C-alpha cells in the first residue's frame, strides 16, 4: 500500500526547510553586505584624516596627532603642584591614549625643557612604546657636559628614560624634516648655529606640521626675540592655517609683526588656571583685532582638529561659559 498523504507531507516539510535555509542564507548575505558597506564608509570616514587633539592639561601643552596608523605627540604637559610620581602624563595623556587604543608613538617632540611641556612625556616612557623622542639640538652641549647634566634633572631623566625604553633620541635644527605617510613635520627653529639660551622659553622648537596641504605651527613658549628672528628670516610664503599660540597666550609673545607674517586662520591656546596672567588680555585683543578666532583649552576642554582633503574642522568638548 502506498501512503500518498505521507509523501506529500514529507515533500511539504522539505520545501519548508529549503525555504527556511534560503531565508537564513539571504539574511546572512544581507548582513554581510551591510557590514561591508559599513566598513567601506567607516574606512572612508577615518582613513587619510589627520586628527589633532589639543588635550586639556591645565597650564601646559600636549597635542596628540594621529594620521592613519601613525601617532605623533608634541609635548606632554606637566603640573608642578601635582604628585611628581602621578602627574599629567599618567592622569590625562596616558588614559587618553588608552581610550584611543594607541600603544605606540612614532615620534614625541619636546618643544623645550620646562616642566609643563616635558613631564608628561617622561611619564609616558614608562607605559607606551615611543620610537623616537625629538628635542632641540641646543641641549647637546648640556648632555655632553656631565656637570651641567647633573644640574638639569629633567634632561637627565629624559636620557635615562629613552635608554630604558629603547627610544632613539633625535636632535633637531632648522631645516630638519620628519616624513611620515602623507604627513611631515619640519623644524624651523632653532637654527644650526643657535646656542643654548638662558631664557629657557627661547630654546623652544618651532615645528610645522603639513598635512592635506594645511599648515599647522607649534611654537612652544617662544618670546618676541625669537619671533623677530623668524620674521627676519621668513617662514615660506603662505599663511598658516592653525597656530598653537606661543607661551599660553603670554604678553611676551604673539607680537604684531609675527601675526602679520603668519596670518593664521585660527589660534589655539593651551592654558589653565595660573598666576602668570595667561592669557594676556592685550594678546587676546590683538588676535581679535587681526580677526583671528582663538580657542582656549580652559574654556573648551580638549580641542579636536580634523583635517582631510576638503576642510579643516574644529570640535570642542565643553561649552564656553
Is 35 a residue whose pLDDT tops 70? no
Architecture of domain 50-316: 4-Layer Sandwich (3.60)
159 φ, ψ (degrees, to nearest 5): -60, -45
The confidence band for 5, taking pLDDT boundaries of 50, 70 and 90, is low
Domain boundaries, the chain: 1-46, 50-316
The secondary structure of residue 219, as a DSSP letter, is: -
Nine cell digits for residue 237: 610664503
Question: What whole-number distance in Å separates Cα of residue 45 and Cα of residue 36?
Answer: 14
Separation CA 205–CA 7 (nearest Å)? 87
Q: What's the average model confidence in pLDDT over 2-22?
A: 61
Helices (H), the chain: 4-46, 88, 94-99, 115-124, 140-143, 146-150, 153-165, 224-233, 256-262, 281-289, 297-300
CA-CA distance, 283 to 293, in Å (whole number)?
12
* pLDDT of amino acid 215: 97
Q: Which residue has the higher pLDDT, 25 or 283?
A: 283
Pair type for strands 104-109 and 294-296: unpaired
Q: Decide which of 35 and 230 is more confident.
A: 230
Query: Whose CA is closest to 139, among 227, 204, 229, 206?
Result: 204
User: Which comes out higher in pLDDT, residue 235 or 75?
Assistant: 75
Residue-wise pLDDT tens digits, 151-163: 999 999 999 999 9
* pLDDT, position 52: 98
Q: What is the mean pLDDT of the chain?
A: 91
Between CA 268 and CA 175 the distance in angstroms is 25
pLDDT at 276 over 60: yes
pLDDT band at 235 (very low <50, low <70, confident <90, very high): confident
Q: How far apart are CA 105 and CA 132, in angstroms?
A: 8
Q: pLDDT digit string (tens) for 107-129? A: 999 999 999 999 999 999 999 99
Arithmetic mean of pLDDT, 33-37: 64
Rounded percentage of the chain residues whose pLDDT exceeds 90 = 80
| Residue 14 pLDDT > 70 | no
Burial 191-210 (b: 16+ CB within 10 A, else e): eeebebbeeebbbbbbbbbb
Q: What is the pLDDT of residue 37?
A: 62
Residue 40 pLDDT class (50, 70, 90 cuts): very low
pLDDT at position 143: 96
Residue 272 pLDDT > 80: yes
With the CA atoms of 270, 198, 136 and 208 taken in that order, what torsion angle do they form, in degrees rounded to the nearest 10?
40
What does the pLDDT average to over 239-255? Answer: 97
Residue 130, CB-side half-sphere exposure with 13 Å CA sphere: 34
Cα–Cα nearest to 243, from 193, 280, 293: 293
Amino acid at each position: 500500500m502506498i501512503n500518498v498523504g505521507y509523501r506529500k507531507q514529507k515533500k511539504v516539510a522539505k520545501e519548508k526547510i529549503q525555504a527556511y535555509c534560503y531565508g537564513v542564507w539571504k539574511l546572512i548575505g544581507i548582513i554581510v553586505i551591510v557590514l561591508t558597506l559599513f566598513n567601506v564608509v567607516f574606512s572612508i570616514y577615518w582613513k587619510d584624516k589627520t586628527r589633532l587633539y589639543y588635550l586639556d592639561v591645565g597650564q601646559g601643552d600636549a597635542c596628540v596627532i594621529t594620521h592613519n596608523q601613525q601617532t605623533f605627540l608634541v609635548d606632554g604637559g606637566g603640573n608642578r603642584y601635582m604628585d611628581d610620581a602621578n602627574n599629567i602624563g599618567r592622569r590625562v595623556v596616558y588614559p587618553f591614549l588608552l581610550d584611543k587604543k594607541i600603544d605606540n608613538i612614532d615620534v614625541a617632540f619636546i618643544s623645550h625643557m620646562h616642566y609643563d611641556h616635558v613631564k608628561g612625556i617622561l611619564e609616558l616612557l614608562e607605559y607606551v612604546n615611543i620610537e623616537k623622542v625629538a628635542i632641540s639640538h641646543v641641549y647637546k652641549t648640556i648632555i655632553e657636559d656631565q656637570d651641567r647634566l647633573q644640574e638639569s634633572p629633567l634632561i637627565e631623566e629624559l636620557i635615562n628614560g629613552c635608554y630604558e625604553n629603547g627610544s632613539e633620541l633625535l636632535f633637531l635644527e632648522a631645516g630638519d624634516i620628519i616624513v611620515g605617510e602623507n604627513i611631515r613635520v619640519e623644524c624651523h627653529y632653532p637654527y644650526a648655529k643657535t646656542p643654548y639660551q638662558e631664557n629657557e622659553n627661547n630654546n623652544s622648537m618651532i615645528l610645522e606640521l603639513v598635512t592635506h596641504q594645511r599648515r599647522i605651527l607649534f611654537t612652544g613658549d617662544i618670546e618676541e626675540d625669537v619671533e623677530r628672528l623668524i620674521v627676519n628670516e621668513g617662514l615660506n610664503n603662505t599663511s598658516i592655517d592653525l597656530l598653537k599660540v606661543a607661551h599660553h597666550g603670554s604678553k611676551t609673545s604673539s607680537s604684531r609683526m609675527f601675526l602679520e607674517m603668519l596670518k593664521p586662520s585660527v589660534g589655539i591656546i593651551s592654558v589653565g588656571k595660573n598666576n602668570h596672567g595667561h592669557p594676556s588680555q592685550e594678546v587676546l585683543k590683538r588676535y581679535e583685532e587681526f580677526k583671528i578666532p582663538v580657542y582656549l583649552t580652559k574654556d573648551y576642554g580638549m580641542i579636536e582638529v580634523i583635517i582631510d582633503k576638503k576642510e579643516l574642522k574644529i570640535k570642542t568638548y565643553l561649552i564656553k561659559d
